[in-house]
Chain A
Amino acid sequence: MARLRDLAKKPSPLTSGHRACSGCAFPQVARQVLLAADTPVVVVIATGCMEVATTIFPYTAWQVPWMHCAFENAASTLSGIEAAYRALKKRGVLDKDIRFVAFGGDGGTYDIGLQALSGALERGHRLLYVCYDNQAYMNTGIQRSGATPTYAYTTTSPAGKVIPGKTQKRKDLTEIVVAHDIPYVAQSTPAHWNDLITKVQKALAVDGPSFINVLQPCRLGWTFEADMAIELARLAVDTCFWPLYEVVNGEYRLTYRPKEKKPIEEWLKLQRRFRHLFTPENRHLIDELQAEVDRKWERLLKKCGLA
């Protein structure tokens, strides 16, 4: 178990002066992931909030080697870096052990970057891909993505007089990654820092690809009070909307089970993107969302051998 006091002695991998929104939660994801590493890390980031807010030339908040290439290709760019690392080691011009981490938002991972991610996982590069999933294209102004939950308002799935937000289901990227049969896959959140850090350490220890899907509440896109990001990540887990689990060599394990499963409504009501559901004519949609959470939770428990 990581001790914060030990982590706090490390140099900050993502320092102050970056321009993420006040109350954002992606910096905590990046810091927790990188603080977990005991071996030097090289980072590649897909185009998105985490990239634009942290590196506005000549200002960079990163204190680790860092690279951005484009939106859909963080995984393939990092593949090339990892291949170069192996080649340079083989040639004897590099002797250090280095680990490789990619960060991509849900747009850059679930949608436009899915092919590059799948290819990198299939090829077996030793890299960790962390998706910071804020459930929409937040960087371009809150457009719907494959990760946007059903009935959420976004600027391209607005709630209107006849359509109550996004009517399609959320893509389950974690399960798609599991289907690649890679050594380590997990879900976590920055609220569960010890869970996330432990998972990163496990991921970096495997000799092959690993993937962690991290739910990152977005103050702007989900629309909540500035101090609520961590609490909303916690509630997503306690309502079983975003279970904390890991899949190690194909074996499922729940890493945290809420003592009491909270109703999804408790999570929804704190976010303005779901506000349109709290009208008399739309309340049945909340019931529908609850049924969906229950169905997926039961399915996960079965996979974990807990049903």
Chain B
Amino acid sequence: MKLTDRLHSWKELPIGGIIPEGGTSRAYKTGTWRTGKKPVWHPERCIQCLFCWIYCPDDAILVTEDGKRADFDYDYCKGCGICARECPAKPEKAIEMVDELR
């Protein structure tokens, strides 16, 4: 049974209000929270410092198995822009905030 798939009856719930597995919040997409701006990654400018990854509040920066930065996970990115501000790549940042139409 997946707890997040529908509203369950009291008889179906795990004892004591526990959530019996980790990471179920991924069923809740916070990408819809973005209000007008989204970050865009330019891999050609990226220096793979991973600062954006360590500073992202929303775990919305995907990394490859060998620990390299991949693209944004727009399902969860709330569009705060911390990644773009903190990006140290020069002369141009590897992340820019662009207008997003909804």
Q: Are A and B co-members of a single complex? A: yes
Within 8 Å CB of A4, what residues of B?
49-51, 53-54, 67
Within 8 Å CB of B81, what residues of A?
23, 226-227
Quick one: which of B52-88 are within 8 Å of A by CB? 53-60, 63, 65-69, 73, 75-76, 78-82, 84-86
Within 8 Å CB of B22, what residues of A?
15, 60, 62-64, 66
Interface bin, chain A: 35 or more
Within 8 Å CB of A15, what residues of B?
22-23, 25-26, 59
* Main SS class of interface, B: loop
Known: A23-B57, A61-B25, A63-B22. A5 touches B50 (CB 8 A): yes
Quick one: which of A1-40 are within 8 Å of B by CB? 4-9, 12, 14-20, 22-28, 31-32
Q: Is B28 located at the chain interface by the 8 A CB criterion?
A: yes
Q: Is A230 located at the chain interface by the 8 A CB criterion?
A: yes
Within 8 Å CB of B59, what residues of A?
12, 14-16, 27, 31
Known: A12-B59, A27-B57. A60 touches B25 (CB 8 A): yes
Within 8 Å CB of B67, what residues of A?
4-9
Stretch from A51-59, A150-158, A164-172 contacting the other chain: A51-59
> Is the CB–CB distance between A230 and B25 below 8 Å?
no
Measured CB to CB, the residues of A under 8 A from B are 4-9, 12, 14-20, 22-28, 31-32, 54-55, 57-64, 66, 190-191, 193, 226-231
CB-defined A-B contacts under 8 Å, sample of 29: A4-B67, A5-B66, A8-B69, A9-B66, A15-B59, A16-B76, A17-B27, A18-B58, A22-B33, A23-B57, A24-B80, A26-B57, A28-B54, A32-B54, A54-B25, A58-B4, A58-B24, A59-B24, A59-B25, A60-B24, A62-B23, A64-B22, A193-B55, A226-B81, A227-B81, A229-B57, A230-B82, A230-B86, A231-B85
